[in-house]
């Protein structure tokens, strides 16, 4: 299916990213651009703080968003996208605000370590450490420790999925829910080559990200957490909702992961937006079809957290 006309027009009006050089330079440009973006979703309470990182690693910066001052709200730990190399709390501030407001939950957005300075498994261990801390300290944030979800887009979706596996294997409580927007799962089976021209995730971007974070590790070396779809056992994981985009080279990976979760007995919803591209969540403030697509996933998260 062709790319949605409104989204295509939006891409034609902005400079598209060029994935080359060192990620640090890319990050600087990204942060400078975000500093100029107006706030579109007001949230009553926003707090920057730190939480303990993995043993022997630095503390993690997090940004906490609360849609109200009421205690006992459900909580979502959110991991930003960016191929494990770029992205930040700042780059995904609009998304975190939307989640807090639309899903009526406290959002804890995590600033995990990035590659190439910190290759695999640094981001994964940071993601797990943040989730484990929130499970124990949700009440300090105005949240309910018995209703803690994980969510993420792209690389962040991969991290959210991995956290569920890590929590199961390490003996702590599963999240209430996992919401994964266009995650990479390792189940591509060559499908990347069939969609090489996604405006936000062209073939060159996939290679650039993989080179920096996974440092040319094989799929076998990445399992179980670096390629969640290759994990031998997916049973006992949190109910999931996976969102994919038809123009995205990661489309097949997300669909295949949903099928594997269902086969393992994990309740799993799937939203397939055939005419959208990778990264559409970040454009919901400007492109109505993206906003509509995002709304259904926010509703799935809100409903799951309300049920507890």
Residue 106 and residue 227: Cα distance in Å, rounded? Answer: 28
**Which strands sit side by side in the sheet containing 240-245, from one edge to the other?**
45-51, 60-66, 106-111, 73-79, 143-153, 178-181, 240-245, 268-273
Are 116 and 213 in contact by the 8 Å Cβ rule? The answer is yes
Among residues 91, 154, 277, 282, the one annotated as catalytic is 154
Are 97 and 117 in contact by the 8 Å Cβ rule? The answer is no
* CB atoms inside a 10 Å sphere around CB 33: 14
CA neighbor of 213 nearest in space, from 123, 128, 273? 123
Q: What is the CA radius of gyration of the chain?
A: 18
Residue 37 and residue 305: Cα distance in Å, rounded? Answer: 30
Residue 188 and residue 109: Cα distance in Å, rounded? Answer: 28
* Residue 154 falls in the annotated catalytic set: yes
What 3-state class would DSSP assign to 273? strand
Are 135 and 74 in contact by the 8 Å Cβ rule? The answer is no
> What is the distance, to the nearest Å, from the Cα of residue 264 to the centroid of all Cα atoms in its chain?
22
The token pair that represents 68 in the structure block? 């109200």
Burial 230-243 (b: 16+ CB within 10 A, else e): bbeebeebbbbbbb
Active site residues: 154
């Amino acid at each position: 299916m062709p790319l949605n006309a409104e989204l295509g027009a939006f891409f034609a009006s902005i400079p598209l990213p060029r994935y080359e050089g060192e990620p640090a330079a890319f990050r600087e440009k990204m942060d400078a651009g975000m500093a100029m973006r107006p706030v579109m979703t007001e949230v009553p309470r926003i707090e920057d703080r730190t939480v303990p990182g993995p043993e022997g690693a630095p503390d993690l910066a997090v940004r906490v968003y609360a849609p109200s001052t009421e205690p006992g709200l459900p909580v979502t730990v959110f991991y930003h996208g960016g191929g494990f190399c770029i992205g930040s709390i700042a780059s995904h501030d609009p998304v975190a605000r939307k989640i807090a407001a639309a899903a009526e939950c406290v959002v804890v957005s995590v600033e995990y370590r990035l590659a190439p300075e910190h290759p695999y498994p640094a981001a994964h261990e940071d993601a797990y450490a943040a989730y484990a801390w929130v499970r124990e300290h949700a009440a300090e944030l105005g949240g309910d420790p018995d209703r803690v979800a994980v969510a993420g887009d792209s690389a962040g979706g991969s991290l959210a999925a991995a956290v569920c596996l890590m929590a199961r294997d390490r003996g702590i409580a599963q999240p209430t829910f996992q919401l994964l927007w266009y995650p990479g799962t390792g189940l591509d089976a060559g499908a990347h080559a069939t969609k090489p021209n996604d405006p936000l995730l062209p073939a060159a971007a996939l290679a650039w990200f993989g080179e920096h974070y996974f440092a040319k590790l094989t799929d076998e070396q990445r399992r179980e957490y670096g390629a969640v779809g290759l994990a031998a056992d997916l049973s006992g994981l949190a109910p999931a909702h996976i969102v994919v985009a038809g123009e995205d080279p990661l489309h097949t990976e997300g669909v295949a992961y949903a099928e594997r979760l269902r086969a393992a007995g994990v309740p799993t919803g799937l939203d397939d937006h055939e005419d959208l591209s990778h990264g559409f969540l970040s454009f919901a403030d400007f492109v109505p079809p993206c906003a509509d697509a995002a709304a259904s996933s926010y509703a799935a998260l809100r409903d799951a957290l309300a049920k507890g």
